[in-house]
Amino acid sequence: DGGITQSPKYLFRKEGQNVTLSCEQNLNHDAMYWYRQDPGQGLRLIYYSQIVNDFQKGDIAEGYSVSREKKESFPLTVTSAQKNPTAFYLCASSPGRGYTDTQYFGPGTRLTVL
């Protein structure tokens, strides 16, 4: 089955720790995205990548980092510099960079900082 997988589904972190969220896709899509979802605020873009070894900051990149070493993988690291990291994180991919392209979403990772 083609799709996007995110792991883990639930993640708990102590304050001051970095944590990495996994995102893998086997759709052969060029572009990948990370969003953060908070109650009542919709989705906000953290980072996106339109090609391997290249990525751009989204609207709320502070305290986060990413890498895109392989086409199918786009891990997100939540660093200790992120002031309020507790949220639901969604990864997405799209076939290309076009504005008509549909983004396909993974099931999400819920991060809780203890």
Partner 1 sequence: GDSVTQMEGPVTLSEEAFLTINCTYTATGYPSLFWYVQYPGEGLQLLLKATKADDKGSNKGFEATYRKETTSFHLEKGSVQVSDSAVYFCALSSTGANSKLTFGKGITLSVRP
Binding string, residues 46-85; x marks residues near partner 1 by CB under 8 A: --x-x-----x-x---------------------------
Q: Smallest distance, Å, CB 77 to partner 1?
A: 20
Q: Which stretch binds partner 1 (CB under 8 A): 13-21, 37-45, 67-75, 77-85?
A: 37-45
How many residues make up the chain in this entry? 114
Q: Smallest distance, Å, CB 90 to partner 1?
A: 6
**3-class secondary structure per residue, the chain:** CCCEEEECCEEEECCCCCEEEEEEECCCCCEEEEEEECCCCCEEEEEEEEECCEEEECCCCCCEEECCCECCECCEEECCCCCCCCEEEEEEEECCCCCCCCCEECCCEEEEEC
**Which of 15, 16, 40, 114 lies at the binding interface for partner 1 (CB under 8 A)?**
40
Nearer to partner 1, 16 or 40 (CB): 40
**Which of 1, 2, 15, 41 lies at the binding interface for partner 1 (CB under 8 A)?**
41
